[in-house]
Amino acid sequence: MDHQQAIASWLRRRTRATGVFRILGVFALLLLALIFSFATFWVVFGIAWFVFVWISPLSFEVLLIVSGVALVLLFVLSFFTDHRRLEGEMLSASAESPRIVFRSGGLAGGFMLNPLSGGPGMLFRGGGFAPLVLLNPVVYLKLLSYLLLSGPRFFMAAFRLMLQVIHGAGFDAEGCAAVLAHLCETEGRTPFKEAVRALPADRDVPKVLEQLRTLPGVVFLMKSDPPGLTLTEEFRQDLWKIRPPDEKAD
């Protein structure tokens, strides 16, 4: 077994281990998605019952249908929601939460949101303290939206992770190993044309280059002239360590 074959064997083991962890992650995310979706369904059911009981009471079966339709709409809404932006707005709203101070019987209290934890805190005034029980309504609304969208969000995360599992199943260990072995022998930057020449003739060049991007120690130098790629020194040393014993002896 030469160095290239040793790298290919290592890549196959790495790919299998990564695939197992990703599959476990898919099951964990699906479980969380089911738990949050189940909870969201009954929260929506309770809200619908509370609203319609004052307008026109609905039967239990109709409320179930309304809750189911609302849950489907939440899935659609989650697909078009920028969750990172929603999290950022929640944090900014908590930091800007207004304070309402009151005093009673020598004890002073107030209403504010802890900008760090996003939860209630304690406000000390004049030798007394009171628990903070009222938060910014905007924060409540955004937090509720975030929780209601958690079920669909976990489903989408599981779907994206499953796509990674499928793509990982087609990982070209031999093609990537050919390029990595060549980069190990080369100091500094290697132009793309030279790196591609190390590939066997039957390999899909764009696919191999895209898969090399997923390896943490491969650096793509797109702004260099000419563009190329190289290895981090740590990754280069790791690859040298998996050389066959006969090559290490040389």
Residue 27 has a pLDDT of 96
Are residue 19 and residue 122 in the same domain, yes or no? Answer: no
Are residue 43 and residue 156 in the same domain, yes or no? Answer: yes
Q: Which residue has the higher pLDDT, 232 or 81?
A: 232
Residues shown for the chain: 250
Q: Say whether pLDDT at 248 is over 80.
A: no
- Assigned domain for 191 exists: yes
% of the chain with per-residue pLDDT over 90: 19
Give the other-Cβ count within 10 Å of 49's Cβ: 15
Q: Say whether pLDDT at 60 is over 50.
A: yes
- Assigned domain for 187 exists: yes
% of the chain with per-residue pLDDT over 70: 70
- Assigned domain for 250 exists: no
C-alpha distances (whole Å) from 145 to each of 46, 139, 151, 187, 211 are 16, 10, 11, 53, 37
Q: How confident is the model at residue 169 (pLDDT cuts 50, 70, 90)?
A: confident
Can you tell me the distance from the alpha carbon of 20 to that of 183, in angstroms, rounded to the nearest whole number? 28
Q: Considering its fold, how many domains does the chain have in total?
A: 3
Q: Say whether pLDDT at 46 is over 50.
A: yes
Are residue 119 and residue 236 in the same domain, yes or no? Answer: no
Residue 86 has a pLDDT of 56
Q: Give the range among 72-81, 161-170, 220-229, 233-242 with minimum mean pLDDT.
A: 72-81
Can you tell me the distance from the alpha carbon of 102 to that of 183, in angstroms, rounded to the nearest whole number? 69
Are residue 110 and residue 68 in the same domain, yes or no? Answer: no
Are residue 77 and residue 153 in the same domain, yes or no? Answer: yes
Q: For the chain, what is the mean pLDDT?
A: 76
Can you tell me the distance from the alpha carbon of 48 to that of 200, in angstroms, rounded to the nearest whole number? 63
Are residue 12 and residue 124 in the same domain, yes or no? Answer: no
Are residue 17 and residue 67 in the same domain, yes or no? Answer: yes
Can you tell me the distance from the alpha carbon of 173 to that of 4, in angstroms, rounded to the nearest whole number? 10
Are residue 164 and residue 181 in the same domain, yes or no? Answer: no
Are residue 24 and residue 132 in the same domain, yes or no? Answer: no
| Strands of the sheet with 218-221, listed across from one edge | 190-191, 228-231, 218-221
Can you tell me the distance from the alpha carbon of 212 to that of 171, in angstroms, rounded to the nearest whole number? 10
Are residue 18 and residue 109 in the same domain, yes or no? Answer: no
Stated pTM of the model: 0.64
- Assigned domain for 249 exists: no
Q: Say whether pLDDT at 83 is over 50.
A: yes
Mean pLDDT of 198-203: 83
Identity of the amino acid at 221? L
Containing domain of residue 36, as a range?
A: 3-81+149-169
Are residue 183 and residue 214 in the same domain, yes or no? Answer: yes
Q: For residue 199, which of 221, 219, 217, 173 has the smallest C-alpha distance?
A: 173
Terminal-to-terminal C-alpha distance of the chain: 14
Domain end among 99, 128, 143:
143
Are residue 51 and residue 113 in the same domain, yes or no? Answer: no
Residue 117 has a pLDDT of 40
Helix (H) and strand (E) counts in the chain: 10, 7
